[in-house]
Structure 1
Amino acid sequence: MHVRIRGAIGVAAVAMSLVAAGLILSQPGVSHAGHSYVYSAEQAQAMVEQQAIPGSEFRANCGASHRRQDDPIVFQNQPGVSHMHEFFGNRTTNAQSTLTSLKAGTTNCAPVADKSAYWVPTLYKNGQAIAPDTVTIYYQGIHDRQRAVAHPQGLRYVVGNSKATSPDQNPAARWSCTTQSPSDRNFLNCPPGTKVETYLDFPTCWNGRDLDSANHRDHMAFAVGLVCPASHPVVVPRLEFLITYPVNGTGLSLGGTVNGVNVTSAPGYTFHGDFMNAWDQAELERRVRNCINAGYICGTDGNP
């Protein structure tokens, strides 16, 4: 099986430092405004542990579609309220997007069966918005792959902490440089000849009932010890975003919100991402069955 080991931060040391610093609470996650979220120590450790785990997979290769101050999950039907986001995949995604509108839209992903909406905060270099070079969306079976099921149409969720005030407060953030393996929660000063890249890993356990929740997270969970909690027993493939940008060096920042004001100067450790599933359901189920469940590495055609 082809294996890609992602650059990962030391697991035990990170989790222990988070708890010791009191930056990640040892109780269920607490939601705040927008994408702000404090992960429990258990969930934070599970998140970091799983960042380096390979597995069976299929993928979608998508392009940067458009850029808007919209967020159809956190600020649904409120155009222009969010900080700036970079949208991938579905070309129609905006503040009013629904499953129905996404299914009626078009996509720049290969395969075209994937009309899902994916988005992250816009990256800036010296104040100038930068569109990604490449965007790869992996769907991976990293635990209990034979029990994994396709995401239901309309499932939506977010990951990350946009209001983090230090790297320790967002275990989801992960930046690196092409051709180099180390990663960091904040931007790295990538040398000439390399490009900035980021990975973002989503949870793999669903409660089996809700397509969304009040904070857009509680219906999903990370597998602790690679086992889904009893509250979230349904295994779904892990989404992993791999985004490469045509820049290096310093002067990098993100779109974000500070004290209620939208800015373009947020640090790298505030990185976060969103997903609204609008795959053709039969095609998604085929790929989960033939790639994830069967233990194969598949390409964009969904074949080993």
Structure 2
Amino acid sequence: MGRNTRKRRSPLATKVIAGAAALAVGGGGLVWANFYASAHESGPSHNRTRSAGAQVATIQCPDVGQKLRKVPRGARAGVDRELAQLDKQITEAYARLASTRQAQAGDASYVQNAILGPLKSKRTAALDRIGTNIRRVGGNAPQGLDRFAGCRGMGVDQPNDGNAGNGQNDGGQGEDDGQGQNGGQGQDGGQDGGQNQGDNGNGAAGPFAEDFVDINDVQPGSRDLENGFAANGDGGSQGSFTAVCGVNENNLFNSDNLIVAPGVDNGAHHTHDYVGNQDNDAFSSDEDLANAETSCQNQGDKSTYYWPVLRLQDGTQEFDAGDLGGGAEGNVGKILKASQAEIKFVGNQQSDVVAMPKFLRIITGDAKAFTNGVANANSSFSCTGFEDRQVTDKYVLCPEGSQVVRTSNFQSCWDGQNIDSANHRDHVAFVQQDGSCPNGFQAIPQLQVRLVYDVPAPTVENGQVQNPYAVDGFPEQLHKPITDHNDFINVMDENLMNEVVDCINSGEDCQ
């Protein structure tokens, strides 16, 4: 199914995590390392015994990209490449974590000595190169970047306090780099720590039974994130504009991310669906985007709308089963194409909206929210017929005849100057509680993306989930639903953008 599109490939190793993935014949399909195996397993999961050294489920590192608020334009390309290198280093370290469970079980210091220590050294070098890139163009590199070098172990059920990456405490200095209470390997790592979760029957890195909830058990209006509420209401600008762009009928997939990692092959480490612009990969320039074909009915809309694919972990060998970004990084199973992809722009509760600038980039949600905390999270799962019930940190189990719904309501306030920012967030903002924009920001059309899927309901029995579905993600995020996210680059021509604004401000519903 599909095609993995890139115009040019950088000479990266084709299998940087060889040994962490293995092809298996049978129902499991592509089996990524069994994360919870150890030399001491015997019988069913509830009878297994494991040493404390096997209790680290994943790796938590400071998200350096979110810390860089002022990067000179001339340094951004080099900095983005180094940030992508940091992601690659985490992926490689996580692969070692996943494939060395037996060694960890026999040596309580193994994770620190063989995985977290070397990772810290590599990150220190990359952080130094970030500073060099900034200074090379006359900028002032942030002081003390090396405090973000250390990472720590984290249990699968271990709650993140939202302070990931705040330097000394979460950066993991000295012995706390993966050992003892801060490392998630001692008692505070939790006996759960992923150890009694099983492996979904297919060896994949999540999701687990705890990641699912019956939609009937969700209370209406209980969504618990501050981000992502609809911007329009009873006042202000009440119109809408619907972009009809299909559901990726052209099977355009790749694991790049032009916004976060331009010029970097496999910068996302997971596969995206693309609708709209048909020339979006890591190497696309603004000119490429402007000259591309589009899947949108209105040919004036060459915007690119993209999101992580949803997969059914049923053992299917997809086209990317052996590729980075796909099965080689734990994103396994059948890609589920949305039956509906509803793309709509709406207004602001308090005011008229102004035109978006061409090539404005917006990311909503956080692909690393499991380890980063929920400050930038914006996930929302529901079921058709139950959409007054939205869930942020669970996948939903829908009753027969109901379909899974993923919803993304984007930031709709713009700083009036920039099409992007160093951390890809500061140039846009969500509306405040009263629906208005923060000081210094002005209202733009709010992009809302509603994706509907026919998903066979997973079976959850005795704490195990069979044939689960999950969004693609960075390997160390364990396919947690809180990591769902969505991306957009505005490539509407001026006439169409003005039409969008006029429809919204006049209260009309257009397409």
TM over 0.5: yes
Is the 1:176–1:197 Cα contact (8 Å) retained in structure 2? yes
Deviation, 1:275, is 0.6
- The one-letter code sitting in structure 1 at the alignment partner of 2:436 is V
**Structure 2 residue aligned with 1:279:** 492
Contact 1:205 1:220 in 2 (8 A): yes
Q: CA deviation at 1:292?
A: 0.8
Cross-structure match for 1:267: 480
| 1:46–1:223 contact (8 Å) kept in structure 2 | no
The structure, 1 or 2, with the larger RCO (C-alpha pairs under 8 Å, 6+ apart) is 1
Match of 1:155 in 2: 360
Counterpart mapping for 1:128-277 below 5 A: 128-146=334-352, 148-165=353-370, 169=374, 171-181=377-387, 182-185=389-392, 186-224=394-432, 225-232=434-441, 234-250=442-458, 251-259=468-476, 266-277=479-490
Separation in structure 2 between the aligned mates of residue 70 and residue 80 of structure 1, nearest angstrom: 5
Cα gap change, 1:106/1:198 in structure 2, threshold over 3 Å: closer, same or farther? Answer: same
Can you give the 5+ residue segments of structure 2 that lack an aligned partner in the other structure?
A: 1-64, 69-82, 88-161, 164-223, 314-332, 459-467
Whether contact under 8 Å (2:228, 2:408) holds in the other structure is no
- Give the number of the structure whose residues are more often helix, by fraction: 2
Q: Aligned pairs, how many?
A: 258
CA apart distance, 1:204: 1.2
- Mark the CA change 1:166 to 1:173 in structure 2 (over 3 Å): closer, same or farther: farther
Letter in 2 for 1:241: V
For the 8 Å contact 1:167–1:269, the answer to whether it is kept is: no
Asked if 1:102 corresponds to 2:311, the answer is no
User: Kindly tell me: are residues 105 and 239 of structure 1, through their superposed partners in 2, closer, same or farther at Cα, counting changes over 3 Å?
Assistant: same
- Whole-angstrom distance in 2 between the partners of 1:50 and 1:167: 24
CA contact (8 A) 2:229 2:409 kept: no
Gaps of 5+ in 1: 1-28
Q: Is the Cα contact below 8 Å between 2:232 and 2:348 reproduced in 1?
A: no
Secondary structure at 1:47 match in 2: coil
Match among 244, 254, 270 for residue 68 of structure 1: 254
Aligned-pair distance for 1:273?
Answer: 0.8
How far apart are the structure 1 equivalents of 2:479 and 2:336? 14
Q: Secondary structure at the match of 1:151?
A: coil
Give, in whole Å, the separation in 2 of the partners of 1:199 and 1:193.
19
Q: Kindly state the Cα deviation for residue 245 of structure 1 after the two structures are TM-superposed.
A: 1.6
Tell me which moved more, 246-255 or 52-61. 52-61
Do structure 1's residue 87 and structure 2's residue 274 form an aligned pair? yes
State the AA in 2 paired with 1:47: N
When the two structures are superposed, what TM-score results if normalisation uses the length of structure 2? 0.47
Structure (1/2) with the larger strand percentage: 1
Structure 1 stretch displaced more, 135-144 or 208-217: 135-144
The secondary structure found in structure 2 opposite 1:285 is: helix
User: TM-score, structure 1 length as denominator?
Assistant: 0.77
Cα displacement (A) at 1:237: 0.7
Give yes or no for contact 1:57–1:140 (8 Å, CA) kept in 2. Answer: yes
- Three-state SS of the structure 1 residue aligned to 2:341 is strand
Which of 1 and 2 has greater Rg?
A: 2
Find the residue that maps to 1:165 and give its secondary structure: helix
| Matching residue's letter, 2:350 | D
